Structure 1
Amino acid sequence: MQVPDNPDIRSFLDHLRFEKRYSVHTLRSYSDDLAAFFSYLQDQYGPTTATEITHGHIRSWLAGLKESGISARSIGRKISTLRSYFKYLLKTGRVEASPVDKVITPKSGKRLPVFIKEEDTKELLHSLASTESWKGMNARMLITFFYATGMRLSELINLKEKHLDFAGKRIKVLGKGNKERLIPVSAELLELAKDYVAAKNREIGKAEDAFLVTEKGKKLYPKYAYLLVNSWLKEVKTLDKKSPHVLRHTFATHLLNQGADLNAVKELLGHSSLAA
């Protein structure tokens, strides 16, 4: 698309070419976006100078793009072009304010987190209840705790026995950035933890301070936990992606499906996003 004979646009593109040293491909993208926008202005409003352009003009153009099926990512790029253009005009004294400041960039669509259906989760937990080997017990503890608490892999393998508050029915978790959070848990989960600790003391004896340990009494390492969980998740035939993180998503999804408050679930996860 041909750029309109506009000295402001020519000056802006020269700035990108010679001062910013943008590539030919990037320059063409900027040029095409500006040409499309000013062509729209000409068709809809007639000759319009930079100082006359408002956020309403921009929103109207973007609405038309959205209706024509342009993706949120592409629209976001066009907004970025206009933002850079008006920032340059503002810096060079050609305008007194940027109309793009009042325009919100649409969020790109993200894939929904993978989770296990409730009935499949119940079957998985039921099948784990009959495991007797130490590795089988670790699989049961890992999967049950992931699903019941929403903890990250690193948080669970670093969990210590002293972090289990049996009286208060909660677990203290040390998350990203050493941020502590308390997760309320059921009496059933704590009873399972008591049984595991008793078995650990009886069968392994002296072990590391970690809550979950290997057959040799060493703290679980990430690969051990990852592979062990995945070996059991393979039994869930409806699940495409298999990893411990799927259980974190499952924890959050099931809570929300049961009417839990969104912000409360985010707090339990120790994150601002449910997808993390």
Structure 2
Amino acid sequence: QEHLSLANFEYKDARNYLSFLYSKNLKRTSVSRKISTLRSFYEYWMVQDESVINPFIQLVHPKKEQYLPHFFYEEEMEALFKTVEQDLKKGLRDRVILELLYATGIRVSELVNIKEQDLDMNLPGVKVLGKGGKERFIPFGEFCKQSIEHYLETFRPKKSTEHDYLLVNMNGAPITERGVRYVLNDVVKRTAGVTDIHPHKLRHTFATHMLNQGADLRTVQSLLGHVNLSTTGRYTHVTNEQLKKVYLNAHPRAKKEN
């Protein structure tokens, strides 16, 4: 490689340097960070010396790598629910945590702040306070409703009457985000075939399953509390099972007539 002083660095040299970074098989985020650092350095130098030209100013930033959100398949979710049911001590509470996260796609920060008066068991659904203090209502189904009702009738009253937060720890205090993560990790350890879990993975799962079953993007955007539709668009990937289902229903020669 030819050694150049920073003062003699030109636009073509900046492009060559960018090509060199790509040849090292670096991640796009690493390349972008290096280019940003050099661009900022030259901007600072230009303030000190007006004769300096920033060779990186016109260099196009490499696009960030787009990662598909990880999600659970339906059979994996069923396995998680079966594991929770086997815990006689705290299974009722843990099932409500799992049901609400999967049935509504809410964030863990929204989950731990749910109070009993936020529930509407007639519709049924729950009111949550999202990012930016924006309130939204998310419906949920019968499985979730029954789990909450059973929990409120049996587990919840025994733990605390000093506050009205829905979810509590074993001491009766409102459960924390860390507490929810601990619960989920404990469930995974006892579930065969499931290796990792975090609250946001359940949010990804909710969105993926909704879209795969025909929900429109705008509705899912509203349920998730996303400001931009492009954020929700990350979930429009489809599973192999869904691809096969669509193919079999749509292609004229997909199914053999009897």
Partner residue of 1:52? Answer: none
Partner residue of 1:235? Answer: 190
| Cα-to-partner distance string for 1:14-67 (whole Å, 9 max, x where unaligned) | xxxxxxxxxxxxxxxxxxxx47x5358xxxxxxxxxxxxxxxxx6x99689768
Shift of the 93–262 alpha-carbon distance from structure 1 to 2, 3 Å rule, reads: farther
Partner residue of 1:2? Answer: 2
- Unaligned runs of at least 5 residues, structure 2: 235-258
Shift of the 217–67 alpha-carbon distance from structure 1 to 2, 3 Å rule, reads: closer
Question: Is the counterpart of residue 141 in structure 1 residue 96 in structure 2?
Answer: yes
Question: Is the counterpart of residue 206 in structure 1 residue 161 in structure 2?
Answer: yes
- State the shift of 1:185 in Å: 1.8
- State the shift of 1:213 in Å: 2.8
Whole-angstrom distance in 1 between the partners of 2:220 and 2:89 = 32
- Unaligned runs of at least 5 residues, structure 1: 12-33, 41-57
Residues 134, 215 of structure 1: 8 Å contact kept: no
Partner residue of 1:18? Answer: none
| Cα-to-partner distance string for 1:73-110 (whole Å, 9 max, x where unaligned) | 35424643674487579867669999946835411455
- State the shift of 1:271 in Å: 4.9
Match of 2:147, SS? helix
Q: TM-score, normalised by structure 1?
A: 0.61
1:53-92 correspondence to structure 2 within 5 Å: 71-77=27-33, 79-80=35-36, 83-84=39-40, 87=43
Whole-angstrom distance in 1 between the partners of 2:184 and 2:24 = 45
Percent identity of the aligned residues? 34
CA RMSD of aligned residues (A): 4.2
Match of 1:151, SS? coil
Residues 39, 54 of structure 2: 8 Å contact kept: no
Shift of the 98–62 alpha-carbon distance from structure 1 to 2, 3 Å rule, reads: closer
Partner residue of 1:25? Answer: none
Q: Aligned letter for 2:190?
A: E
